[in-house]
Amino acid sequence: MLRNDGRVDTVVDFAPGVDRFLLQGGLSLGQIAIAQQGANTTLRYLNQAEPSVILLNVQASSLTPESFQTQALVPSFNSLTVFGDSLSDPGNLFGLTGFFPPFPYSQGRFSNGDLWVDYLSDDIGLEPAQVQNFAVGGATTGRDNGLDPLISSLTGTEVNLPGLLDEVDSYLSSLGSGSANPDGLYVVWAGANDLFNLPSDPAAIPAFLANSVQNIATAIGNLAARGADTFLVPNLPNLGLTPRTLGDGTSQQATALSLGFNTGLANALTALEQTLPIDIIPVDLFGLTNEIIGAPAEFGFTNVTDALLNQGLLDDPGYFWWDQQHPTTRVHDLLSDVFQVALVEAGYLQSGDALLPALSAAAEADWLPQGAGSGLASLTSLSNAPLNSLVPSPDNWLAVSGDLS
C-alpha cells in the first residue's frame, strides 16, 4: 500500500507485471514522481522532499498502469456547489455570451478538456443533479468581471458580467426562503482576475488586495449565514509562472502579488473558522505550482513555460499550460486529485471497498514512458489535430512596483 504519511518504505521484492501497489488516501498516479536512482526506483509524492518508497533492483521503465490500483472514494457530503472564475467555469460564460470562449476551447471551458470539477464529481460518484456550478470566466472576487471590456468591444454592447459576490447572490436567491444544504461541500476559489486588473497606482495595491481577500471572506460568511458549513478554499497558484507573466516581464511582480494575496487569505480563513461554526479546507496551489514547475520531468511534463494553444495542437500530455494563463486538462485532472487528498485528510472522503484501475482505458493511451526523471500521466486523451485559429487572451495585466509586505 502507498500512503502519503511521511514514512519511507524500502521494498526488496517488488516484481513488475506481478505485484501491484494500492494507492490510498486519495493518492493518484499524477501525484507520484518516479525516478531512477542507480539500480533502484524511487516514488515521491507531491509536497514531500524525500522519496516515500524505494524499489530495490527495479527499473522505472518496467512500471505500467497495471502496477497500481486505487480505491473508490465515498463522500460524506451529498452535493457540490462551486463559485469562482475561469478555472472552474463549465461553460457559464459561453452561455451568457453565446460565443466566448470560442473553439478550440473545449465546450465553453477555459482549457482543452474537462476541468477539475468534472474530474472530481466523476471520481467520487456525484450525479449531475448533485453539482451546481456558478463560476463565470473573468469573475473577480467582488462584483466586477475582468472580461467586461473585451466582451463589450466584441459585441458592441456594454455588458456587466457577474463577479464572485454576484454568483453567491444568485445561489442564495435560488434558495428562496430556504437554507443552504448543511450536508453539502462549497468551493470558493477566485482572486486571479483581481490581480490581472490592478489599480494603476502602486500605492493602492495593498488595500486593493486586502479588499479582494475580504470579498472572499464575505462570500463565505454570506453562505454560512444561510446554513453552509463546509468549504474547500484553494489559494492562488503562482501567477508569476504563467506564460503571460513570463512573457511580459511581470513574473517577479506576479509572484509577489500572489504571495501577498495568499497570506491575507490564509489569515482571513483562520479568522472565519474562529468566529463561525464552519469547517474550511484550504488547499495550497501556490506550493503545488512551484513544485511541479520546479521539477517538471519528475511529474511527466516536458513544457511548463509555453502555451499549448500557440503550438497549433489540441493536446500534448507534456504541456502544463493551455493558453497564456489557464492550465491544460491534464493539470485539472491533477488538481482534482489534490483536492481529493485534502478532502480525505479532512475526513470528507472515505475509502470504499471497490478496487479500481489506476488509470482509465482512455488515459492509458497517454501513459508516458518511465525512466529517469519521468512521471506518470493521468489525463483525458484528445485529438492532436492542428488548430484552425488561435485565440489570444486579453492583455490587461498592469505592471506594478512597490512593497507588498
Query: Residues 357-371: pLDDT tens digits?
Result: 655 544 544 544 343
d(CA 169, CA 163): 10
Virtual torsion, Cα 148, 154, 157, 162, nearest 10 deg: -20
Give, as one character, the DSSP assignment of residue 312.
T
- Over residues 193-224, the pLDDT tens digits come to 999 999 999 999 999 999 999 999 999 999 99
CB 172 within 8 A of CB 225: no
| 322-332: average pLDDT | 97
- Within 8 A by CB and 6+ apart from 201, the residues are none
Please give the C-alpha separations between residue 65 and each of 16, 59, 309, in angstroms, as whole numbers: 11, 14, 28
Q: How confident is the model at residue 19 (pLDDT cuts 50, 70, 90)?
A: confident
50 CB neighbour count, 10 Å cutoff = 9
**H or E, element range at 257:** helix 251-275
Which grid coordinates belong to 41? 526506483
d(CA 394, CA 354): 46
Smallest CA-to-CA distance from 276 within 215, 230, 209 is with 230
165 CB neighbour count, 10 Å cutoff = 21
Give the whole-number percent of the chain exceeding pLDDT 70. 82
Give, as one character, the DSSP assignment of residue 394.
P
pLDDT greater than 70 at residue 378: no
Helices (H), 163-204: 164-174, 192-195
339 CB neighbour count, 10 Å cutoff = 26
- Within 8 A by CB and 6+ apart from 55, the residues are 11, 14, 40, 41, 42, 43
pLDDT greater than 50 at residue 335: yes
pLDDT greater than 70 at residue 68: yes
Q: How confident is the model at residue 7 (pLDDT cuts 50, 70, 90)?
A: low
Smallest CA-to-CA distance from 141 within 261, 58, 45 is with 261
Give the whole-number percent of the chain exceeding pLDDT 90. 65
CB 352 within 8 A of CB 71: yes
pLDDT greater than 80 at residue 397: no
| 107-124: average pLDDT | 96
Please give the angle made by the CA atoms of 143, 145 and 150, to the nearest 5 degrees: 155
Average pLDDT of the chain? 85
93: left (phi over 0), alpha (psi -120 to 50) or beta: alpha
pLDDT greater than 60 at residue 302: yes
CB 348 within 8 A of CB 77: yes
Please give the C-alpha separations between residue 44 and each of 238, 317, 342, 373, in angstroms, as whole numbers: 22, 20, 18, 11
Q: How confident is the model at residue 385 (pLDDT cuts 50, 70, 90)?
A: very low
362 or 63, which is more confident?
63
105 or 401, which is more confident?
105
How buried is residue 294: exposed, middle or buried, by Cβ count under 10 Å (0-12/13-18/19+)?
A: exposed
Its pTM stands at: 0.82
Give the lowest-confidence range in 50-59, 165-174, 186-195, 285-294: 50-59
CB 385 within 8 A of CB 318: no
- Over residues 222-267, the pLDDT tens digits come to 999 999 999 999 999 999 999 999 999 999 999 999 999 999 999 9
Instruction: Name the residue with cell 453552509.
Output: 228
* pLDDT at position 50: 76
Which grid coordinates belong to 151? 466582451
Q: Which domains does the chain have, with CATH numbers?
A: 9-72+353-364 (no CATH), 77-347 (3.40.50.1110)
Please give the angle made by the CA atoms of 95, 392 and 325, to the nearest 5 degrees: 80
Length of the chain: 405
44 or 195, which is more confident?
195
CB 357 within 8 A of CB 140: no
Smallest CA-to-CA distance from 116 within 305, 326, 359 is with 326
